[in-house]
Amino acid sequence: MLAAQFAAVFIALYVAHSVGDHWVQSSCQAAHKGAAGWAGRWACTRHVLGLTATKAVLLVPVVLLLDLPVTAAGLTIGLALDAVTHWWADRRSTLAWLAKACGKGEFLSLGTPAHPAHPVTADGGYAPTLGTGAYALDQSFHHLWLLVAALIIATV
């Protein structure tokens, strides 16, 4: 039963993460959450509040409809840890620091003009791309913490 509970919680968190990170987050939050100073911190905080609310809104029906025996403490700790780690990564400079410290600096710039092999148009100019190394590292970092949050929610 515990494995099924973990799986249901993880799936709900994963879907809610995708919805919250891409549909709920405003363009203003996305553009400014990595900015220096209080304006950037506040944009990131608003994003994470909306994201966490999205996770709660999608997780509660899963818990109730599937009659999962999760605790208030597990939900609180799991969602809080996920929120804190998401905020930390979305300040951008922090995750960029971690990527460089792990030897992923070149991958971090993949898909941007800063990368030595950036995509180009037929005439040699920069060709914008939807996928970047920074985005892949950001999402994989969040997925790691979703897993930890789901373990906490399912077992505490």
Q: Which two tokens stand for residue 129?
A: 């791309």
- Judged against a pLDDT cut of 70, whether residue 10 lies above it is answered with yes
Per-residue pLDDT at 129: 64
Tell how many helices (H) and how many strands (E) occur in the chain.
7, 0
The whole-angstrom separation of Cα 51 and Cα 45 is 10
Beta carbons of 134 and 108 less than 8 angstroms apart: yes
pLDDT digits (tens, 9 = 90+) for 16-26: 999 999 999 99
Where are the domains positioned within the chain? 2-155
The answer to whether the pTM exceeds 0.75 is yes
Mind listing the pLDDT tens digit for each residue in 90-149?
A: 998 999 999 999 999 888 877 766 666 666 677 777 666 667 788 888 999 999 999 999
Q: In whole angstroms, what is the distance from residue 18 CA to residue 72 CA?
A: 24
**Binning pLDDT at 50, 70 and 90, where does residue 88 land?**
very high
Residue 30, token pair as written in the block:
């996305």
Q: Across all residues in the chain, what is the average pLDDT?
A: 91
